[in-house]
A and B are shown apart, each in its own frame.
Chain A
C-alpha cells in the first residue's frame, strides 16, 4: 500500500507564475489536508477536503490560493501569481473516513516551493 504521494518534490517558480501542487492520498483514504511550513516554523493548517467538497478552508490565504479534490485524480493546491513569501514546504496528509474517534493523518514527503 503506497503512502501519500506528492509531486513535484521541488518546484521553482518566478514571481507572478502559477504553482500547482499535487497530492495522491493513500488508497482508501477520502480525506485530504494541506499544511504549509515556512522556514523555522511549524506546519500550519491550510485546508481540509473530501472528494468534491471543501470542508474547512480557514487556513487558506484569502487571495491567490485555491484547492480541489475532484472525484477522480489527485488533490491540487493551486497558487496563482506567486510571490517570494509563498516559498515554503507544502505537505499533504490523508486519513480514512472520519468516525467518532480521531483518525491518524498520514503525511506525504512534501513539495518544496521556491519563488525566485
Chain B
C-alpha cells in the first residue's frame, strides 16, 4: 500500500508559467518532506524540503507548501524553465527520532516544459 502518492504521472506546462506538482501521504507521523528531481540516467538530486512544523518553504523559483490536516504537499515552480523538465519525486522520512532516515518515495511525476 502506497504511503506517498503522486497521482499525476505526467504534467506539461508552458515555459514561463507556474508548474504545480502534488503529493498526498497517509501517515500523520511523517516528520520531514522532500522533493527530489531526477534526469534520465542520473541519480535523484535533492531540491527542497519542509519540516512538519512549517507550512511553507521557499528557495528561489521553488516553493513547497505543506497542509498537514489534509496530508498534502505541493511543489510550485515559477517561472518554469526548459531545464526543469525532469521527473519529480515527492518523498518523506519519519524524522530524527526514528532510528534511520530511510526515505519513502512516491512514484514520481514527469514534468515537461513546453517552449
Q: What residues of chain A have their CB less than 8 Å away from a CB belonging to chain B?
A: 4, 31, 33, 35, 40-45, 48, 55-56, 59, 91, 93, 95, 98-110
Q: Is the interface of B mostly helix, strand, loop or mixed?
A: loop
> Can you name 11 A-B residue pairings with CB atoms under 8 Å?
A42-B89, A42-B105, A43-B44, A44-B105, A48-B100, A55-B100, A56-B99, A102-B95, A106-B46, A109-B43, A110-B43
Given contacts A42-B107, A42-B108, A100-B96, contact A105 B101 (CB under 8 A): yes
Tell me the number of A-to-B contacts counted with CB atoms below 8 Å: 67
Evaluate contact between A105 and B103: CB separation under 8 angstroms: yes
Q: State in angstroms the CA–CA spacing of A40 and B110 once bound together.
A: 11
Q: Nearest chain A CB to B26's CB is how many angstroms away? A: 14
A-side contacts of B103, CB under 8 Å: 33, 35, 43, 45, 93, 105
A42-B106, A98-B96 known, 7 other contacts, Cβ within 8 Å? A43-B44, A44-B105, A45-B103, A55-B100, A98-B101, A99-B96, A109-B43
